Chains A and B, each alone.
Chain A
């Protein structure tokens, strides 16, 4: 017969000592890391909004010309720079996004696992890490020296920045489109081009647009490529994006940031607020597009 010991209830409480302490410390450190991220972000946003909101107005954003730096912020406005940012970024988008999408189509639909596609995909990833200033120097060397400063040159530089980003994000979206969708289209006798354009791209369009918007947000805020390509000294709006020097919001911020005059600095804060607002709007738009239109993301 089995000897039954007195049943004692097991002690199921948490083991005390170093194990519990080290686990708690680790968790708090992780929380601290997040706090360390929030603090500078909060600071920057708070400062930009606080200092910029008094400058920002419709006339500030639309009227020109840009006054000399000594004048206070109430004189003139940054209209030429806003126009410059819009037209140059738009041109860059028109150049880079279609080319990027087509490049991603090659990678995903035609290239597959072949060596060339793998090389292109790998170098596209590498290219996203090329500093933006290099793109500026590149376009300077290859275009500006021959054709002069222009909004187009700036758009080329920004386009080079955007291209690999668009390729990569589009490629990710195309990968998510399930193969059965393609097969159904092939089975109806469609060519690869038709399948891609009529079935695959529409299925991925939400993610593609979202990725493109984020690329635009990044490009709109870039300064370094513009220094070497649009010159930036202009004070009046240049509506011809293909000819002649131009200016843009980031350049205005850059040149005004080092000025001792309060007017110049105020204009810089106003431009910074405008720039951040543009970037945020694009980011929110990207999220809305993702939420509303992606059907196949998991």
Chain B
């Protein structure tokens, strides 16, 4: 694996969240716990969509959520940055801690949460603005007005997203005019521009062709040293390619009420999950017999 490219533009003016530190390659002793969930259940109204998820996401690692459709992996992901708040009937039960602080405590502001925990969506969603304004949107709403610093931030973010060389001459063009892969990298750049602590990715490459997918995966490796990444993917090969740890979710079917509830089946180092799964359901899924 090649050395991550040194970013030429390193200065930034956004306040960095506390407790970020230089990282080392993942060893068997896990680093700082970034997310810690205990018996997390998620309800939509009375319907329990996800039940009893307990896992720990570690700093500067790429953690993958895999599992068949409907198993709640995206629901759990969205819980990590309070995006489920946008659904009126959604409710969370159990503990979700981010670096020791409870994410769902009374005085926690979702805005502050999302400033630190960014998200890239399945379908690229650039704003109907110029490429520059797309990337600058986050810093601007956080108060950055200085033209020079904004330019630096935009360039740095686009470089991190491996998009700078392709768009540096047309920053004023609309973000809607990019190809799928470019648009997704623009969305990643936009997310990185606010220098979050964590980047959540919800099937970021599922709408892209294989070459664009490869680019995104390379990108993830390159930025791993500065961010913690959690990625939901339905592509097992992708999970093996990029992730350090993998969480396998599956569906519990309640035959009486005919409801399907997602749950965490197994969580561990990626090699272990795929080569030596402890749970039979995990084994069935990763060997392709089901799902």
Residue numbers of A with Cβ under 8 A of B are 2-5, 7-15, 19
Contact = CB atoms under 8 A, between A and B. Distances in A.
Say whether chain A's binding surface is mostly helix, strand, loop, or mixed.
loop
Contacts, number: 55
A19 B99 CA distance: 25
Interface stretch (B84-92, B107-115, B235-243): B107-115
Interface size class of B (residues with CB under 8 A): 20 to 34
A12 B19 contact: no
Contacts of B141: 19
B8 interface: no
B32 A15 contact: no
B19 A10 contact: yes
A13 B113 CA distance: 8
B281 interface: no
Contacts of B288: none
Contact of B111 (A5, A11, A15): A15
A12 B114 CA distance: 10
A15 B18 CA distance: 15
Interface of B: 17-19, 21, 23-24, 31-32, 98-101, 103, 105, 107-109, 111-113, 115-116, 141, 143, 197
Contacts of A4: 21, 31-32
16 contacts: A2-B31, A7-B32, A8-B19, A10-B101, A10-B116, A10-B197, A11-B112, A12-B98, A12-B103, A12-B108, A12-B109, A12-B116, A13-B107, A13-B109, A15-B109, A15-B111
B101 to A, nearest CB: 4
Contacts of B109: 12-15
A10 B116 CA distance: 9
A102 B190 CA distance: 52
Contacts of A14: 107, 109, 111-112
Contacts of A5: 19, 21
Contacts of A10: 17-19, 98-101, 116, 197
Nearest to B21: A5
A14 B82 CA distance: 14
B199 to A, nearest CB: 16
A217 to B, nearest CB: 33
Contacts of B197: 10
Give the interface centre of B19, B21, B100 by most chain A CB atoms within 10 Å.
Answer: B19
Given A7-B100, A12-B105, 12 more contacts: A4-B21, A4-B31, A10-B18, A12-B103, A12-B109, A12-B112, A13-B108, A14-B111, A15-B115, A19-B111, A19-B141, A19-B143
A97 B98 CA distance: 62
Nearest to A4: B32
Contacts of B31: 2, 4
A3 B23 CA distance: 9
B18 A12 contact: no
